[in-house]
Structures are given as C-alpha cells and as structure tokens.
Amino acid sequence: MQKTEALSPTEPADGGDAQATTPLLRVRGIQKHFASSQGLFRRSHRVVRAVDGVDLDIEAGKTLGLVGESGCGKTTLGRMLVRLDSPTSGGIILDGHNYGAATSHELKQYRQLVQMVFQDPMASLDPRMTIGQSISEPLTVMRICTKKEAHKRVHSLMQSVGLPEEMANRYPHQLSGGQRQRVGIARALALEPKVIVLDEPTSALDVSVRAQVINLLRDLQRDTGISFVFISHDLSTVRYISHEVAVMYLGTIVERGPVDQIFESPRHPYTRALLAAIPIPDPRKEKERQRYVLTGELPSPANPPSGCAFRTRCPIVTDFCAESAPQLERTEDGGYVACHFASLAKSESGSLPVFTDVRLKESIQQ
Amino acid sequence: MATAGIALRRSGAWVETVKDLRTSTAGRFFSNRSNQIAVLFIGPVVVLALIAQWLPIQEPLEINIVDRFQSPSLGHPFGTDGLGRDLLSRTLAGLRLSLWIGFAAAMIALTLGVIIGTMAGFMGRGVDRAISVVTDVMLSFPTLLLVIGVVAVMGPGVTQIIIAIAVADTPRAIRLQRSLAMGLRSRPYMDAARLASAPTRWILVRHVIPNTIAPMIVVATLYASNAIQAEAALSFLGLGIVPPEPSLGNLVADGRNYLQNAWWISTIPGLCIAIVAIGLHFLSDGVRDFLDPRQRS
C-alpha cells in the first residue's frame, strides 16, 4: 500500500490546490484498457481505452454527478471506484491510502468504505434470497456482528430506506421496482460506508418512483453525511442531487465543476449539447430555443480521433483540434474544462455559441 | 433454503411462519398438475415395489414348473413365466432394482455435474478448457455405446451398471451446470456479493448452486428415467443384470420368445418401464415449477 506522498497526483493544469478541504476520495490518472483481438488468423491486438486518465475528487457528504452518453466509460469508471474492476493504472486514494492496486486484504478494508448500488434492482438481488438475507449478506460475510445483531441491523436499515420490517421475509419478485432499489440501497448502507457509487440507480424505475428514490438518497446524505458518486445520463436528476458534476466523453472528463456552473454556464461544447437535450417543460420556450444537436456517433474507444476526442462531432471544431488534445484547465468560476476554445464558447446553456472570431466561424462552415 | 433467514429470526412469529411454510410447501407440490399426474403414475408402482417383500406372494426366484405359462389370474395377477415363477413378484423386484439404478445413477451424475460444472464455470480458463475437452470427448460417443463399453470393461452387475450409466450422463450434467454457472457469473448480485468481500466459496454455495440446482434437479429426473430405460436395454441385450435375478429388461427379454403364446411375460414389465418413464417426465415438469421462487405467493 502506497502512502499518498509517494504518489504524484496529477493535478489539473494550474495546481488545483485552492480547495479548502482535502477531498475524501481522490482519483488520479485512472485508466482502464481492454485488449481486444480481431481477426481469426491474423490476430491484431487493439487496446480499447475505456477510461483514459480520469481525475476526480469526492468531497465528504457531497454528491458528485457523473454524466455522459452510453459507452463513454462512466460505468467502467464506477466499477473501478468500487474496485470491482481493477484499474490498468492510476490511483484511488482514500484516507491517505492508495487502493488503486490493492491486495485482496486491503480490498476488504476498502469495501467497508466504498459500496455500490446497481442499475437493475431486480438483477442485483439474488432471486432465491429473501430481502433480509440480501441486506444482511455483507454483515454475515464480514462477520461484523452476531446474527442477532445482524437481524436488528437489517430492520433498522430497512426502516432507514422506508421499507416495512415484514418485508424481510419476502423474495425480490414480490417487490415493486422502487422497493427493490431501496433494498439495494439498504444493502449498500449495511457496512456504513463513506462513499456509495450509484450506477444509474433510477434509470430502471418509473418517474414517480424515481423521485422517491432520489429524495431518499438526499435524506440519507443529510442524516449520515455519506458521499455519493451518482452516475447517470438523466441530467435533471443529476442537477437535483449533485453538488459537483463531471462530464465524461470517450473515457475522459471533458468538464467538471460545481453543479450550478455546469448547468448555468457550461464551457465545453459537449456539455452544452447534453444540456440542450433536456426538454423545457414550456412549449413556447421549447419552440423558441435553438437546438444544439450532436450529429454522428460516439467514436470507437479502440480507435479514438487524434487530438481532441470530441472534434469529430464538435460544432466549433478547428484544424488545431486535430493536432493537440486539450487538457483539463481551470476556469475562472471554479470549474475545469478540456477545450481549446472554452473561453470563446462561453454562452447561455443550450443555445449556440456566439462567435466573435470570423476565422473560427469559417472553419465550421467548411 | 432459508437457513440464514431462520438464523435471523428466532422470534415466536417466525416459528409460526415456518409451520405455515411447511404445510404450504407440501400443498404447493401437490397442487401442481404435473406433479399430480406424476404421483398417479409412479406412486402406486413405487409403493408396491418397496413393500413387495412383505406381500403374500411367491418369491421372485421360486420355480413352480407345474404352474408355467399361467395367464394373469387372481393367484398370479401378472401371470407366470416358462419356469412357473410369479411375474408380479418378479416385476416388483425388477422395479425396485430399476428404481434404485435410476436414482443412484441420476444422483451420481447430478452431484458430479454440479461440482465439476461449477469448477469449469468459475475456476478460470485453464480448468474450463481441461474439463470441456474431457466432456466433449465423452459426449462424442453415443450414450448406449459408452454404457456398453463401460459394462464390457467392468463386467455385469448392479453397481457396474449404475457406474456405467452415470459415466454417460455426467458429461451432460457438467456441460449444463457449466453453462448455468457461467450465465450467473456476471449477474449484478454476484458483484454485490463480491463487494461484500464474499470469498469464492461463499459465492458458489450461497449464490451459484442455489440458482442452478433447480434446472439440474429437473434434468436429473430425466436422467433417472433414461437410466431405467438404459438398464432395461442393457439387460435385454444380456449385458445388464445377470439372470435369474429379475430386472425389467431381463423380464422383457425372457418373454420375447413366447410373445404369441404368453404375451404377458414381456408386456407387463414393458408397461412398467413406460409408466415409470412417463411419470418421471411429468415429475421433472412439476419439480421445475415447484422450485421456481416466482411461483411462490
């Protein structure tokens, strides 16, 4: 186990040490590469960079929203955060210890601190275990308490997620989707972790149930001071629950910052495109606003574009973008953005950027 | 199934729930149409076979040459054979043997299949490859040929037949368990167990086996049915149970020379084979529904 000092944290550009508090969980330069072999006889090995150098800070008692479209690596990142997958390289630093390449003994320790809630609540519960058995599984496996205490603990956990005690004897198929996800949350809480990674916890739920689950998470955070990493592509939910937001594109973070800054004045063209996709619940406003629609597909992470990964779909792309990959740089309002033209593209959320540079405009029209 | 649940709940209310569960478990089993048919088919046959030695009938090996080729009557409900042996008694003895062979062979195949198949599905590529190659080679032989081969090597006898049939069924069971286990490997609840730092042993015993055992038991009942038929086939060919000890296959073989004059010698044991086989097939259907937690209310 490495001490933090031994690891040289690759802080974003201008030093990022302005934060008053040290974050609870720090992720530095984390990468996950998968080898994919193609061809039957002529085997060519390609490396898929699912997550390619991500830095994150998770503050105690706060929620970090992680957004991005399908296939951008956010689930892989989440699985690495709980160490279900081991990172190819990079550090996960919690309490001064780096768990990036932890041994199984260290992992046991880590898993008491960082837990996960899964996307599909039905699939995340063993159909042959009762709810009580599922929730008490971490307690039983870790032998944290006697069976009698575990029994009590299960009931208090069920209470804290708003499930009636009698449900402990039921099987997952007898519960509704929302109830199942509450069971998943109760199980994640069983070890009293400091961080819970929520991998699209509401995407399989009805809208009405979704709101209940989100409010439950907020209440839990208020009561216990737990931190969340909320992985989602549902931007309105992310805005509601998060304190900070990180936007992922093709395995890297393209923009991150406080939630209001991201939603009010996004810098990265990709963030703006994502925000433009949120429908406005007012038909007149919706009609008036200029749509900022992304064309094309997410490029394959096995064969990413040169320079800026987003340049193939970017509305403000220039020749320069193909040559140099932008690094995350600090903006004046406290966020980080990885775009060469971030300062140019500052504008209202959802609308097209206003270009002052004629040369730039021409290059788009080409 | 609910051991942890039992441990979790030691209150009085829980004891009552257990009682309710038990009564409803039996109720659930017999309320299934397939199970009812299965019990109708196999029930009387099994009971008769088990109590045969206490029934007031002639011993299966007792020869009474005066009464040879008696057609079914009150004294000999299934008739007698060419040596005047009572066919009811012989059929029931053969049935008991067949049921034992079916049960034992299926249990061996089930146990080995679950253990080795789980290993193949969970212990990494090398183990999987090694196991798969062996099962593939064994599966490339026709079942009966493999059984005959094993019997030819080991010689005839009940134990040998059980082993021979188990050898033929085990690769199938391994294959099935392997694919079931592999399908479970990436389930989120497996990830949840790993996040609880559950050791592999825990994951296998608490998650993999409970979630694969239902289909395995279903095929095991089919293996039992196949084993009974395989024994009959072997004995009919003269490779199975050594006469004069009766088995269903021996009895059918004995009677085939007299089919025109004494139809009952072959027909009645043959019908027994069919009844047990059909009953076991219905049972496998019923057991599948019975073991599905979704069918529980």
Tell the burial category of A317 from Cβ atoms under 10 Å away from its Cβ (0-12, 13-18, 19+).
Answer: buried
Residues of A in contact with B8 (CB under 8 A): 132-133, 136, 147, 150-151, 154, 168
Please give the full DSSP string across A285-308, using - where no structure is assigned. Answer: HHHHSPP----S-PPPTTSPPSSS
pLDDT value for A350: 42
* B294 CB within 8 Å of a chain A CB: yes
Contact B5 A150 (CB under 8 A): no
Contact B196 A127 (CB under 8 A): no
User: Residue B203, Cβ neighbours under 10 Å: how many?
Assistant: 20
Tell the burial category of B181 from Cβ atoms under 10 Å away from its Cβ (0-12, 13-18, 19+).
Answer: buried
Q: What average pLDDT does range A92-108 have in this prediction? A: 86
Long-range contacts of B119-125 (CB under 8 A, 24+ apart): B120/B174, B120/B177, B120/B178, B120/B181, B121/B177, B121/B178, B121/B179, B121/B180, B121/B181, B121/B182, B121/B184, B121/B185, B121/B208, B122/B181, B122/B185, B122/B200, B122/B204, B122/B208
Nearest CA in chain A to B5: A133
Residues B78, B111 contacting (CB under 8 angstroms): no
Question: Measured between alpha carbons, how far is B234 from B253 in angstroms, rounded to an integer?
Answer: 10
pLDDT value for A325: 86
pLDDT value for A144: 77
| pLDDT band at residue A287 under the 50/70/90 scheme | confident
Nearest CA in chain B to A121: B188
Mutate to test the interface with B, among A82, A108, A120, A141 (most CBs of B within 10 A): A141
User: Residue A56, Cβ neighbours under 10 Å: how many?
Assistant: 20
* B215 CB within 8 Å of a chain A CB: no
Minimum distance, in Å, between the CA of residue A76 and any CA atom of chain B: 13
Q: Coil, helix or strand for A32?
A: strand
Mutate to test the interface with A, among B10, B190, B197, B211 (most CBs of A within 10 A): B197
Under 8 Å CB-to-CB from B28, ≥6 apart: which residues? B290, B295, B296
CA count, 13 A, side-chain hemisphere, B85: 21
Q: What is the ipTM of this complex?
A: 0.80
Contact B189 A126 (CB under 8 A): yes
* B5 CB within 8 Å of a chain A CB: yes
Taking alpha carbons only, the member of A102, A79, A192 closest to residue A138 is A192
- State how far the alpha carbon of B108 is from the alpha carbons of B92, B104, B163, B165, B227, in Å: 24, 6, 8, 9, 12
Mutate to test the interface with A, among B1, B3, B8, B207 (most CBs of A within 10 A): B8
pLDDT value for B296: 63
The token pair at A283 is: 């038909």
pLDDT value for A344: 64
The token pair at A155 is: 């009931």
Question: Measured between alpha carbons, how far is B222 from B279 in angstroms, rounded to an integer?
Answer: 10
Contact A141 B187 (CB under 8 A): no
**Average pLDDT, rounded, for chain A:** 82
Contact A137 B188 (CB under 8 A): no
pLDDT digit string, tens, across residues A235-269 = 888 999 999 999 999 999 999 999 998 888 888 88
pLDDT value for A356: 36
Q: What average pLDDT does range A229-234 have in this prediction? A: 91
Give the predicted TM-score (pTM) of the model.
Answer: 0.79
Minimum distance, in Å, between the CA of residue A334 and any CA atom of chain B: 34
Minimum distance, in Å, between the CA of residue B184 and any CA atom of chain A: 10
Q: Which phi-psi region, left, alpha or beta, contains residue A282 (left: φ > 0; alpha: ψ -120 to 50)?
A: beta
Distance of CA A358 to the CA centre of its chain: 37
Question: Measured between alpha carbons, how far is A35 from A30 in angstroms, rounded to an integer?
Answer: 17
Query: If chain B, 297 residues long, is cut into consecutive pieces of 10 residues, what is the mean pLDDT of each piece?
Result: 46 52 71 88 88 80 81 81 84 90 94 94 89 93 88 88 92 94 90 90 91 90 90 86 85 85 87 90 88 71
Minimum distance, in Å, between the CA of residue B100 and any CA atom of chain A: 31
Residues of B in contact with A136 (CB under 8 A): 4, 8
Mutate to test the interface with A, among B189, B212, B292, B295 (most CBs of A within 10 A): B189
Residues B163, A105 contacting (CB under 8 angstroms): no
Taking alpha carbons only, the member of B248, B246, B242 closest to residue B229 is B248
Whether residue A348 is predicted with pLDDT greater than 50 in this model: the reply is no
* B4 CB within 8 Å of a chain A CB: yes
* B111 CB within 8 Å of a chain A CB: no
Contact A141 B202 (CB under 8 A): yes
Nearest CA in chain B to A79: B191
Question: Measured between alpha carbons, how far is A253 from A13 in angstroms, rounded to an integer?
Answer: 14
Taking alpha carbons only, the member of B27, B8, B52, B86 closest to residue B268 is B86
Q: How many CB pairs under 8 A join A and B?
A: 91
Q: Which runs of consecutive H residues, i.e. helices, occur in chain B?
A: 3-8, 12-30, 33-51, 87-122, 125-139, 143-154, 158-185, 188-195, 200-202, 209-236, 248-255, 264-291
Distance of CA B4 to the CA centre of its chain: 30
Q: Which runs of consecutive H residues, i.e. helices, occur in chain A?
A: 74-81, 104-111, 131-142, 147-160, 177-189, 207-224, 235-241, 259-264, 269-276, 283-288, 319-323, 358-365
Query: What does DSSP say about strands A227-232 and A63-67: parallel, antiparallel, or unpaired?
Result: parallel
More confident residue, A145 or A172: A172
| pLDDT band at residue A58 under the 50/70/90 scheme | very high
Taking alpha carbons only, the member of A75, A87, A81, A72 closest to residue A31 is A87
Distance of CA A30 to the CA centre of its chain: 13
Residues of B in contact with A82 (CB under 8 A): 195
Question: Measured between alpha carbons, how far is A340 from A336 in angstroms, rounded to an integer?
Answer: 12
Residue from the list A115, A116, A136 with its beta carbon closest to the beta carbon of B8: A136
State the Cα angle at B45 between B44 and B51, rounded to 5°. Answer: 85
Contact B197 A147 (CB under 8 A): no
pLDDT value for A349: 42
Minimum distance, in Å, between the CA of residue B7 and any CA atom of chain A: 7
More confident residue, A53 or B23: A53
Contact B195 A138 (CB under 8 A): yes
User: Residue A211, Cβ neighbours under 10 Å: how many?
Assistant: 15
| pLDDT band at residue A13 under the 50/70/90 scheme | very low
Q: What average pLDDT does range A25-52 have in this prediction? A: 78
Taking alpha carbons only, the member of A181, A23, A197 closest to residue A110 is A197
Per mean pLDDT, which range of A38-42, A216-220, A295-299, B16-20 is the poorest?
A: B16-20
Tell the burial category of A329 from Cβ atoms under 10 Å away from its Cβ (0-12, 13-18, 19+).
Answer: middle
Whether residue A277 is predicted with pLDDT greater than 50 in this model: the reply is yes
